[in-house]
Amino acid sequence: MKNNSVPTPFALVIAAVITAPAGAHEVLTGDTRLACEATLCLAAGSRPNECSPSLSRYFSIHKRKWSDTVQARANFLSLCPASDQTPEMRSLVSAMANGAGRCDA
């Protein structure tokens, strides 16, 4: 039997975005939308083409010092209303901004 379970961080992101304070008639736009999309895309195991605009915006954030770049990227992801709804989401956003899952080879 095939296991179709969703990875926990991805499930948390989806649950947080679904329950975000944005009302049913309110559509996110601009950097807020890109931040939410980037959060979903960074949490996903694969990156579909729909992730290109949001990830391009995320990875285009560069500062002189690496620590400043990490902080600026975390600030960008924090624009998503769901990013601070729960301690788990805050932890996930922080981990993604700090490069969780990147290759250190």
- Mean pLDDT in the chain? 79
Those residues whose C-beta lies under 8 Å from the C-beta of residue 60, and which sit 6 or more positions away, are: none
Query: What DSSP letter does each residue of 43-99 carry, written as one string?
Result: HSSS--GGGHHHHHHHHT---SSHHHHHHHHHHHHTTSGGGGSSHHHHHHHHHHHTT
* pLDDT bucket at 4, cuts 50 / 70 / 90: low
Number of domain units in the chain? 1
2 within domain boundaries:
no
18 within domain boundaries:
yes
104 within domain boundaries:
no
43 within domain boundaries:
yes
102 within domain boundaries:
no
31 within domain boundaries:
yes
Q: Which domain holds residue 70?
A: 8-97
- Report the 10 Å Cβ neighbour count for 97: 22
pTM over cut 0.75: no
Please count the residues of the chain: 105
103 within domain boundaries:
no
Tens digits of residue pLDDT in 38-88: 999 988 878 888 899 999 999 999 999 988 998 999 999 999 998 888 899
* pLDDT bucket at 27, cuts 50 / 70 / 90: confident
